[in-house]
Amino acid sequence: MGTQPILGGLVLFALLVGAGCAGGRPPAPLGVTEGRLAPCPGAPNCVSSQAVDANRRVEPLRYEGDAALARARLLEILHGLARVQIQRADDDYLHAEFRSAVFGFVDDVEFYFNPPGVIQVRSAARTGYYDFGVNRKRVERIRQQW
C-alpha cells in the first residue's frame, strides 16, 4: 500500500482543520434589515423563527414584562453555554458566535427583540452544507433553559 492515500487524507484533514479554525468571516446579511433577520441560505444548516419553510422553522422565545430583563436573562443563558462569544449586544439585537469543539467551525446565532414579548432567533452554520441538526438542537437547548 502506497503513501499517497495517507498523504491525501492528511492534506484533507489539515484543510478541514484550517478552515474550521479560521471560522471564516461572518456572512454579510447578519443583523436586522427592514425588521427581519436574514433569511436562511439554501443549505440545510440554518433554523429561524422567521422562516416560512417548516423544515427550518423554530418558535421564537417569548417573555412577559421588560425587554431589558429578558435580554439580561438571555445573556446569562448564553454565557453559561460552552464555546460562545458575544459579538454584538444592542438593546434589541444580540449576535453570538458558537465554535465547535473539534474543528472550530463557527455558527452565528442571532436574537431580535421584536415585536414586544417576542425574541426572534436565527442560528446558522457559517461554512459547510449540513449541520447534522446542531443549530436546531442549540436553539432548543436555549429554549429549555429559557
The DSSP code for 25 is P
Q: What is the pLDDT of residue 101?
A: 87
Q: Which domain holds residue 9?
A: 4-145
| pTM of the complete model | 0.81
Helices (H), the chain: 4-22, 67-79, 134-145
Is there a contact between 121 and 51 (Cβ–Cβ < 8 Å)? no
Residues 27-53 have pLDDT tens digits of: 667 999 999 999 998 889 999 999 999
4/132: higher pLDDT: 132
Is there a contact between 109 and 125 (Cβ–Cβ < 8 Å)? no
What's the CATH code of the domain at 29? 3.30.310.80
Q: What is the pLDDT of residue 142?
A: 97
Q: What is the pLDDT of residue 9?
A: 46
pLDDT of 20 above 50 = no
C-alpha cell at 111: 436574537
Residues 61-115 have pLDDT tens digits of: 999 999 999 999 999 999 999 999 999 999 999 999 999 988 889 999 999 999 9
What residues does 120 pair with on adjacent strands? 112
Is there a contact between 47 and 40 (Cβ–Cβ < 8 Å)? yes
Q: 12: pLDDT confidence band, cut at 50, 70 and 90?
A: very low
Look at the chain and report how many structural domains it folds into: 1
- Give the chain's end-to-end CA distance (angstroms, integer): 55
Q: What is the mean pLDDT of residues 120-146?
A: 95
The DSSP code for 37 is E
